[in-house]
């Protein structure tokens, strides 16, 4: 499930193509935004795409449509890869321990409502932290509150901006541990 540029989706596509992820296959991409670049990435690789425009539908209708698609697809694992919608408890309770997310910090730090994208990295810099990273975790009814699956640390360097730190965390942590977590969880099924 995606909302933006799809860099984490691309890391999963690449991992699938190189055999890093061999126990599972991306069967569908669901986008919350019709113009998300991630949609183009998926289509380029022949992955089916469904779009549910949250902004146009509102949360209740979005949730209903999402649940309908998930019931039709019956996925073994649901991966939030840059998905900027906090899922309702109706969704998380329907798929316990089947939904994972990659978060751009070392949870539980810099997490919860409002901590996404550059906001996380700016908060890390402002706090004076010397180490940050990314976390893959299960998704439950608490925003960023599910059990941790994998974490990877990345240094915070003098002179970092939120943009520079975001790029480092994405390349050195998120795009490394997300495919690892997907392979780990799909190989257990």
Residues catalogued as catalytic: 103
Q: Which two tokens stand for residue 164?
A: 């520079």
Extract long-range pairs of 83-87: CB within 8 Å, 24+ residues apart.
83/1, 83/2, 83/3, 83/32, 84/3, 84/4, 84/32, 84/116, 84/117, 85/1, 85/3, 85/32, 85/54, 86/113, 86/143, 87/63, 87/139
- Across the range 48-65, mean pLDDT stands at 95
Report pLDDT for 113. Answer: 86
Q: C-alpha 30: how far from its chain's center?
A: 12
Q: C-alpha 136: how far from its chain's center?
A: 8
CB contact at 8 A, 88 and 59: yes
Report pLDDT for 189. Answer: 67
Q: pLDDT by residue (tens digit) across 85-129? A: 999 999 999 999 999 999 999 999 999 888 988 999 999 999 999
- Confidence grade of residue 188 (pLDDT, cut at 50, 70, 90): confident
* DSSP class of 2: B
> Mean pLDDT for the chain?
96
Tokens 């942590």 sit on residue: 173
What domains can be seen in the chain, in order of their start residue? 7-188 (3.40.50.170)
Residue 138's φ and ψ, nearest 5 degrees, are -70, 150
């Amino acid at each position: 499930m995606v909302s933006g540029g799809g860099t984490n989706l691309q890391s999963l596509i690449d991992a699938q193509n190189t055999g890093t992820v061999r126990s599972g296959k991306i069967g569908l991409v669901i986008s919350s935004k019709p113009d998300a670049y991630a949609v183009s990435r998926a289509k380029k690789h022949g992955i089916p795409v469904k779009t549910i425009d949250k902004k146009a539908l509102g949360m209740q209708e979005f949730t209903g449509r999402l649940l309908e698609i998930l019931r039709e697809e019956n996925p073994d694992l649901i991966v939030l890869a840059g998905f900027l919608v906090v899922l309702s408890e109706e969704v998380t309770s329907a798929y316990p321990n089947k939904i994972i997310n990659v978060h751009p910090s070392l949870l539980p730090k810099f997490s919860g409502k409002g901590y996404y994208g550059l906001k996380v990295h700016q908060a890390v810099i402002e706090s004076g932290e010397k180490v940050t990273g990314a976390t893959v975790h299960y998704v439950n009814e608490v925003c960023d509150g599910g059990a941790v699956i994998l974490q990877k640390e990345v240094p915070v360097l003098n002179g970092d901006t939120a943009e520079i730190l975001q790029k480092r965390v994405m390349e050195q942590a998120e795009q490394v541990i997300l495919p690892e977590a997907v392979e780990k969880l799909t190989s257990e099924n």
